[in-house]
Each structure stands twice: as structure tokens, then as C-alpha cells.
Amino acid sequence: MAETHRTKMLILGSGPAGLSAAIYAARAGMEPIVVQGMEPGGQLTTTTEVENYPGFAELIQGPWLMEQMQKQAENCGAKMIWDHISEVDLSQRPFRMKGDSGDEYVGDVLVIATGAQARWLGIESETALRGKGLSACATCDGFFFRGKKVAVIGGGNTAVEEALYLTNHSDDVTLIHRRDELRAEKILQERLFAHPNITVLWDKTVDKFVGEGDPEGLVAIDLKDTKTGEITQIPAEGGFVAIGHDPATALFKGHLELDSDNYIKVEPGSTRTSVPGVFACGDVMDKIYRQAVTAAGTGCMAALDAEKFFAETEFEQG
Ligand SMILES: Cc1cc2nc3c(=O)[nH]c(=O)nc-3n(C[C@H](O)[C@H](O)[C@H](O)COP(=O)(O)OP(=O)(O)OC[C@H]3O[C@@H](n4cnc5c(N)ncnc54)[C@H](O)[C@@H]3O)c2cc1C
């Protein structure tokens, strides 16, 4: 039987942003409900080693970190529900949502922390080598490839930034692009072309990521020339696919203001969206930093902004 879950603060998403919001909201007496979505714990549950989340002197595992965050939120009083929201009505408060389970969710204020997914090329060898030399985040994983040959696939700002960032760790960085010019901003292109440790390979697509060893790891990339069809191979122990991200915002189209890349727009310096009482945090509103710690930070901000909004509107209504 379908149920209705009613709360002062409804939180969509259980990655670092949603769970940090839940910790702060629970401690403020907002009795938050977290709708966890299809991926409880979020993106970090899909990785192994995390070395840059503060508070841990040794390497930790992403799934373990998210388990701890969830337990911490629950210990503070947050309630977790495993469901995926498929319909929203933000036209009036309280906000109403429907889950795939058929349950209804009603929240006086809403925190959206539905994250973003990295785009992948979608080839078979890529799936096999993800986390075994292949990554979609140089800031997260570049450090693991110190002194090794690495390659970045893409031609936009992110790809160029990732290639430049990787020169902090490697003196042999190759940028692979399927066209003969980059989409990235001019200033970034100038920095890229001026860098002595970056080679750009034009008109090439990835035909295959080549793995070897036990445990298996990336050792080379087979490239196909888009003009001649010729296949060549380059050695690479680290491969970074940088062809963009898709924020999980399809659900909010027409309900909230989104930017040209479909990220939720927030007022600068806050988590307030275009609808009063709706707040957004983490990767769903941040296309620049996209880190667990920044997601957690904006999750805290969203809970504080939402709690303040709730208190002010309650006071006004008497
Ligand atoms: C392989 C990999 C390795 C990474 N390594 C690092 C690292 O080492 N260090 C680092 O700082 N960052 C790392 N990152 C980036 C980091 O994981 C993200 O920046 C962070 O998880 C963003 O947190 P978030 O809470 O905004 O969103 P996410 O973690 O993406 O969580 C989104 C949540 O929203 C839920 N959701 C989505 N749609 C709905 C819906 N309709 N209804 C209900 N729930 C919904 C999902 O189930 C999920 O729980 C890595 C990312 C990847 C993919």
C-alpha cells in the first residue's frame, strides 16, 4: 500500500551533499527524510580509494566513507528511504513528490542533492577498465598516476583543465581529440599548447582501451584516425575521460531555473534556487569543483539555508 511520508525537510539524494544536509538538519530538529535514489551513497560508492577527503590520515575506501556518513546522519535522527523520485510539484508549499514505489513525499522545505553523472564513451573495454587505470576525474585520481604516462580524452574546457592539472603529476600527458580544433576557451588552449609536457593528438577516437596484468590495469590505448581510419597505439597507464557531465535535473525542468548545461541555478553565495523553499547542493548545482568535500560543504549550507527559511516562514505565519 502506498504511503505518504511527511517531514519539515525533505532531502533528495544520499551522496555527500544529501547526507551532510541530513546531519545538519537532524541536529537542528528538522526531522529530515532522505530519499536515497537508485544509488544510495552516491558516486563515491563506485570508486575504491579516496585520499583527499579531510579527516583520514590513511587511504580510505569510497563505499566505507559513505556508509559512515549515512550512519552518522541516522544517529543524528535522519530517516533514510530507498526510493527514486519521479514526479515533483513545486508550485506550492508544502512541496509534493512521488516515488517509483508509489509513495508520496511531502516536505515543507526541499533540499535537492541529486548529483551529476560523468559521461563515458560507452565502449566495452572502457567498462572493463574503469577504476583500473581509467577515471573520469583527474582531481580525484591524478595523484595515483604520479610519474606515469597519462592520456585525457575530450576537447572542451574540462578536458583541457584536466590535462593541465595532470602535469602536476606526470611529465607525459597526451590529449586525444576527435576533431582538428578544441572547443575549450582560447586562454585555456594557449596554456595547453604552451605546455612542454602535453602532446595533442588530433582527429583521433578511442578504438580500445588495452589492459594487461593481474590485477589488470590500463597499459595502452588504441586510437582510430577519424579521417583515414588508421589504428595506432599509444602507451598510457592512466586514462581520463573528460567529455562532460549530466546533472540529474530532468525531473526539475519547467519547475526550477536551470542553466544552459542543465545545472540548477542558485543565488551566488547561497543554495537558494528560483523557487522559495527549495535549495540545491552538491554536484547538481556545481559544475566547477565536483568534489566530495565541496558537495558536503554545500550540503551543510543547504540545510542551514533551509532551516532558516523554515523558521522565518513559520514565524510569519504565526
Ligand atoms: C569514480 C569516481 C571517483 C571519485 N573520486 C573522488 C575522490 O577521490 N574525491 C572526491 O572528493 N570526489 C571524488 N569523486 C567525485 C564525488 O564523488 C562527487 O563530487 C560527489 O559524490 C558529489 O556528491 P553529491 O552528493 O552532490 O552527488 P552524488 O554523489 O552524485 O549523489 C547523488 C545522489 O542522488 C540520488 N538521486 C539521483 N536522482 C534521484 C532522484 N530522482 N530521486 C532520489 N534520489 C536521487 C542518487 O541515488 C545519489 O544518492 C569521484 C567520482 C567518481 C564518479
CATH number at residue 145: 3.50.50.60
Q: Do the beta carbons of residue 53 and residue 77 sit within 8 Å?
A: no
- The verdict on the CB of residue 247 being under 6 Å from ligand 1 is no
Q: Are 125 and 148 part of one and the same domain?
A: yes
C-alpha cell at 8: 519539515
Long-range CB pairs of 206-209, under 8 A, 24+ apart, other chains included: 206/121, 206/123, 206/126, 206/153, 206/176, 207/231, 208/123, 208/125, 209/123, 209/125, 209/126, 209/128, 209/129, 209/133, 209/134, 209/239
Q: Are 56 and 107 part of one and the same domain?
A: yes
Q: What's at 133, amino acid-wise? A: G
Ligand 1 mutation target, pool 120, 137, 139, 286, most atoms within 8 A of CB = 137
Residue 24 CA: distances (Å) to CA of 53, 58, 271, 288: 19, 26, 14, 24
Q: Are 47 and 146 part of one and the same domain?
A: no
- The verdict on the CB of residue 162 being under 6 Å from ligand 1 is no
Q: Are 281 and 200 part of one and the same domain?
A: no
Q: Do the beta carbons of residue 308 and residue 69 sit within 8 Å?
A: no
pLDDT along the chain (318 residues), means of 10: 96 98 98 97 90 95 97 98 97 97 98 96 95 93 95 95 96 97 95 97 98 96 98 98 95 96 96 98 95 97 98 82
Q: Are 257 and 187 part of one and the same domain?
A: no
The dihedral sign for the CA sequence 33, 64, 146, 55: positive
Q: Give catalytic status of residue 137 as yes or no.
A: yes
Q: Give catalytic status of residue 141 as yes or no.
A: yes
> In the prediction, which pLDDT does 263 show?
98
Q: Are 164 and 188 part of one and the same domain?
A: yes
Give residue 318 CA to ligand 1 midpoint distance, Å. Answer: 39
Q: Do the beta carbons of residue 111 and residue 9 sit within 8 Å?
A: yes
Last residue of one domain, picked from the residues 221, 241, 261: 241
Ligand 1 mutation target, pool 24, 114, 240, 271, most atoms within 8 A of CB = 114
Q: Are 234 and 126 part of one and the same domain?
A: yes
Give residue 45 CA to ligand 1 midpoint distance, Å. Answer: 8
- The verdict on the CB of residue 113 being under 6 Å from ligand 1 is yes
Last residue of one domain, picked from the residues 217, 241, 265: 241
Last residue of one domain, picked from the residues 241, 274, 292: 241
Q: Are 37 and 149 part of one and the same domain?
A: no
> In the prediction, which pLDDT does 107 show?
98
Q: Are 105 and 124 part of one and the same domain?
A: no
Domain coverage including residue 99:
4-117+245-316
Cβ neighbors of 67 (< 8 A, separation 6 or more) are: 41
Give residue 169 CA to ligand 1 midpoint distance, Å. Answer: 25
Ligand 1 mutation target, pool 5, 119, 140, most atoms within 8 A of CB = 140
Q: Give catalytic status of residue 76 as yes or no.
A: no
Residue given cell 604520479 in the structure block? 146
Looking at the structure of the chain, the number of domains it has is: 2
C-alpha cell at 125: 573495454
> In the prediction, which pLDDT does 314 show?
82
Give residue 162 CA to ligand 1 midpoint distance, Å. Answer: 19
Helix axes of 16-27 and 62-76: crossing angle, nearest 10 degrees = 20
Give residue 39 CA to ligand 1 midpoint distance, Å. Answer: 9
- Distance separating alpha carbons of residues 249 and 231, to the nearest angstrom: 38
Residue given cell 572547443 in the structure block? 183
> In the prediction, which pLDDT does 318 show?
67
- Distance separating alpha carbons of residues 75 and 159, to the nearest angstrom: 40
Give the β-pairing of 60-61 and 49-50.
antiparallel
The pTM of this model reads 0.90
**Marked catalytic residue, from 83, 108, 141, 172:** 141
Q: Are 231 and 164 part of one and the same domain?
A: yes
Angle in degrees, CA 157, 159, 160, rounded to 5: 65
Q: Are 189 and 301 part of one and the same domain?
A: no
Q: Do the beta carbons of residue 64 and residue 55 sit within 8 Å?
A: no
Atom 45 of ligand 1: nearest residue by CA position: 37
Q: Are 101 and 250 part of one and the same domain?
A: yes
Q: Do the beta carbons of residue 26 and residue 75 sit within 8 Å?
A: no
**Start-end of H helices in 149-233:** 157-166, 186-194
